[in-house]
Amino acid sequence: METVFEKAYLENDELNMDAISKAAAFLEEGKLVAFPTETVYGLGGNALSKDASKHIYAAKGRPSDNPLIVHVADIKSVYPLVKELNEKAKMLMEKFWPGPLTIILNKSDIVPYETTGGLDTVALRMPDNKAALKMIELSEVPVAAPSANTSGKPSPTKAEHVYEDLDGKISMILDGGEVGIGIESTIIDMTGDTPTILRPGYVTKNELSKLLGEVKYDEALLIRDKEKAKKIVPKAPGMKYRHYAPKADFILIEGDEEKVIEKINELVTEYENKGYKTGVICQDKTKDRYKCENVISLGNKENEVTISHNLYATLREFDKRETDYIFGETFMSDNLGTAIMNRMIKAAGYQIIDV
């Protein structure tokens, strides 16, 4: 299949309406289009079409029990897709949409099980990207969209990443430049008694609690131990797969900063001596402290959006450099750091060394 590749914005930052109309027409015909959002690129198809959803799973090589997020261009488009839009969920939409928050509600009959991975609930989100919103609006359908990567690889933060994974498999890639946040939306389940975060993201537990009162994390998210992780099944089916992963073996080193640097340098020497190519993921402040030729800083640790913005592109870059072992510093915090560490721990397959 030929994949059309077009820019979403013109030189002056105005929408490229020719390209966006073309994308909307593809969606209306049941075809697939990759598009930019504020989090990561999405691979969109008509959420009400069984065939489009099946095609999404096939293009990504994704297991079909892993449900898709349905993207809308406004709140009123949610009503036909859900059994009921409860007050609290509506408040969330009014406060955080458009934006990086996905809300789980009970689905109506028009949403096919092919889209929800067999579940009776549906994940809903209104992305904060002008081109995406215009495309969804013109297509006149809700748009099911997982991240536009091959299943298991880091999510795409640039159109080039989408091209690497999906060229020839989908009808169009709408290039909106680099995304802002760089990791996927926060997911909150609003179908139970207590709102539950199923995936941490840019919208934090604190912000959600301010509006909703008690909010909890799905217990599977707090696990750092591989054996425990195998036993507790996360409520977001996608969170159980090894995700976001680079080809290299990725190991996190956590603890006192000086000890972390010392340990990483030790590991670099050990593995280089064994003939492996090593790499280090760190922050600006420590990047000159490593005795390794392959060091990438995610940025200034205080600026968490820069760290999240750079994470997936860095993991992909290590793949390009054919790195065998990546040693990484950690980036935990109560804010975006929770989401950054959630993705890093999964990318590392729970390999964490405490020093």
Binding partner selected for residue 328 from ligand TXA, Mg ion, none, CB under the kind-specific 5 to 8 Å limit: none
First to last CA, the chain: 51
Q: Which residue of 239, 268, 313, 340 would you call a contact of ligand TXA, by CB under 6 A? A: 239
Q: Which amino acid is at 254?
A: E
Q: How far is the CB of 155 from Mg ion (least distance, A)?
A: 5
Q: Which residue of 8, 36, 39, 182 would you call a contact of ligand TXA, by CB under 6 A? A: 39
Angstrom distance (rounded) from CA 264 to CA 328: 8
Residue 18 gets which letter from DSSP?
H
Binding partner selected for residue 176 from Mg ion, ligand TXA, none, CB under the kind-specific 5 to 8 Å limit: none
Nearest alpha-carbon partner for 308 in 279, 278, 353, 342:
342
Binding partner selected for residue 104 from ligand TXA, Mg ion, none, CB under the kind-specific 5 to 8 Å limit: ligand TXA
Instruction: Answer yes or no whether residue 221 interacts with ligand TXA by CB under 6 A.
Output: no
Q: Which residue of 16, 49, 147, 297 would you call a contact of ligand TXA, by CB under 6 A? A: 147
Stretch that binds ligand TXA, among 8-16, 61-69, 160-168, 204-212 (CB under 6 A): 61-69
Q: For ligand TXA, how many residues bind (rule: CB under 6 A)?
A: 30
Instruction: Please answer whether residues 100 and 201 qualify as being in contact, where contact means their C-beta atoms are separated by less than 8 angstroms.
Output: yes
* Residue 144 or 248 having the CB closest to ligand TXA: 144
The residue number whose beta carbon is nearest to ligand TXA equals 238
Sequence-distant (≥ 6) Cβ neighbours of residue 200 within 8 angstroms: 186, 217, 221, 338, 339, 342
Q: How far is the CB of 69 from ligand TXA (least distance, A)?
A: 5
Supply the angle between the helices 304-320 and 336-347 in degrees, to the nearest 10. Answer: 20
Distance from chain centroid for Cα 283? 21
Name the burial class of residue 288, with classes exposed (0-12), middle (13-18) and buried (19+) by CB atoms within 10 angstroms of its CB.
Answer: exposed
* Residue 98 or 238 having the CB closest to ligand TXA: 238
Residue 103 gets which letter from DSSP?
E
* Residue 241 or 350 having the CB closest to ligand TXA: 241
Rounded-to-5 percentages of helix, strand, coil across the chain: 40, 20, 45
Q: Which of residues 111-130 bind ligand TXA (CB under 6 A)?
A: 116, 119, 121-123, 125, 127
Peptide bond between residue 142 and the one before it cis (omega within 30 degrees of 0): no
| Segment holding 295, helix H or strand E | strand 295-297
* Residue 282 or 344 having the CB closest to ligand TXA: 344
Q: How far is the CB of 183 from ligand TXA (least distance, A)?
A: 8
Residues that bind Mg ion (CB under 5 A): 147
Stretch that binds ligand TXA, among 23-31, 143-151, 246-254, 319-327 (CB under 6 A): 143-151
Q: Which residues of 153-178 are buried (b: 16+ CB within 10 A; e: fewer)?
A: bbbbbbbebbbbbbeebbbbbbbbee
* Residue 121 or 278 having the CB closest to Mg ion: 121
Instruction: Please answer whether residues 251 and 238 qualify as being in contact, where contact means their C-beta atoms are separated by less than 8 angstroms.
Output: no
* Residue 147 or 283 having the CB closest to Mg ion: 147
Residue 286 gets which letter from DSSP?
G
Q: Which of residues 180-209 bind ligand TXA (CB under 6 A)?
A: 184-185, 187, 198-199
The three-state secondary structure class of 22 is helix
Report angle CA 119, 124, 20 to the nearest 5 degrees. 125
Instruction: Answer yes or no whether residue 237 interacts with ligand TXA by CB under 6 A.
Output: yes
Instruction: Please answer whether residues 117 and 96 qualify as being in contact, where contact means their C-beta atoms are separated by less than 8 angstroms.
Output: no
Binding partner selected for residue 69 from ligand TXA, Mg ion, none, CB under the kind-specific 5 to 8 Å limit: ligand TXA
Instruction: Please answer whether residues 225 and 294 qualify as being in contact, where contact means their C-beta atoms are separated by less than 8 angstroms.
Output: no
Q: How far is the CB of 266 from Mg ion (least distance, A)?
A: 34
Instruction: Answer yes or no whether residue 236 interacts with ligand TXA by CB under 6 A.
Output: yes
Q: How far is the CB of 237 from ligand TXA (least distance, A)?
A: 4
Q: Which residues bind ligand TXA (CB under 6 A)?
A: 37, 39-40, 42, 66-69, 102, 104, 116, 119, 121-123, 125, 127, 145-147, 184-185, 187, 198-199, 235-239
